[in-house]
A and B are shown apart, each in its own frame.
Chain A
Amino acid sequence: MTVNHYIFLSVALFCIGIIGVLTRRNMIVIFMCVELMLNAVNLLLVAFSKMQYLSGSVVDAATKAGTDAQLFVFFVMVVAAAEVSVGLAIIVMMYRNTHSIDVNFLNRLKH
């Protein structure tokens, strides 16, 4: 497989996440679409970490290049886990105040 297969897969997944954020009004579903976009970027980083540097060269299975990219994905997952806990706490607080998880009720913040 070439790298553009994975680039197009990640772009499609990212755009599905964006469409979900723009069309849905349920706060939890919007948050899940943000997670979908994070995973699209993670998949792209892993694909780039396995990209061979010199085109036409022999397959070098012993190279260590790309380790940094996979550790970057690991730290992205760490930050995403922390983000989810705080975000869900905010959603629970919003539900307790407005008794709804519809984002259209959030415009009450301006009054």
Chain B
Amino acid sequence: MGITQLLFWFLTVLTLGSALMVIFSKNPIYSILWLIVTFFAISGHYILLNAQFLAIVNIIVYAGAIMVLFLFVVMLMNLNMPASPVKKKWMPFAGIISGGCLLLVLIAALKDTEAMRRELLMKSGDIGLINNLGMVLFKDYILPFEISSVLFLSAMVGAVVIGKKN
């Protein structure tokens, strides 16, 4: 068992464990902190696949910007109010059973396919480096890149309009 396998299994356990802690924490603050751990573990997977640009962008955008936004919104709200009484006690069990059924069906459907025996190019290859990605992004994908700036402008205007006191 090489260092790559060891790192893969460590990061997998970290990802799935912290994702489970996200949905089973009672306090939303703890959910957000566990989600940050999940994003760092996913960035570790990206580094293991030698997608270094995406790993850094994942940390900056998700763990940096989006999670700070979530924390601000949670802290703006009053979390100390008593939770409303649960009307249907069987609802969480129905959710867990249906999610588990989906997991079972997907794994059973994908278990024996032939194409999945392909090896991945771990820790090598230069397609994930910022040199290669930048060349392609600013040559072939320049139009979607510019359109995404319009998308950000419209999202900013939309957030201001929605959040404005009327």
Q: Which residues of A contact B (CB under 8 A)?
A: 1-9, 11-13, 15-24, 26, 28-29, 31-33, 35-36, 39, 42-43, 46-47, 49-52, 55, 59, 61-68, 70-71, 73-75, 77-86, 88-93, 95-96, 99-102, 104-105
Say how far A20's CB is from chain B's closest CB, in angstroms: 4
Please indicate the chain A residues that have their CB under 8 angstroms from the CB of B118 in the complex.
2-3, 51-52, 55
Asked if A22 and B62 sit within 8 Å, CB to CB, the answer is no
Interface centre among B65, B66, B76, B152 (most CB of A within 10 A): B66
Asked if B76 and A92 sit within 8 Å, CB to CB, the answer is yes
Interface residues in B122-166 (C-beta closer than 8 Å to A): 122, 124-128, 132-133, 136-137, 141, 144, 148, 151-152, 154-156, 158-160, 162-163, 165
Can you spell out 7 A-B residue pairs with CB atoms less than 8 angstroms apart?
Answer: A3-B115, A19-B100, A29-B28, A29-B31, A73-B54, A81-B61, A104-B84
Please indicate the chain A residues that have their CB under 8 angstroms from the CB of B120 in the complex.
1-3, 6, 47, 50-52
Closest to B161 in A: A89
- Chain B interface residue count: which class? 35 or more
Asked if A33 and B23 sit within 8 Å, CB to CB, the answer is yes
Interface residues in B42-71 (C-beta closer than 8 Å to A): 42, 45-46, 49-51, 53-54, 57-58, 61-62, 65-66, 69-70
With A28-B73, A91-B73 given, is the CB distance from A71 to B133 under 8 Å? yes
Q: Is B94's beta carbon under 8 Å from chain A?
A: yes
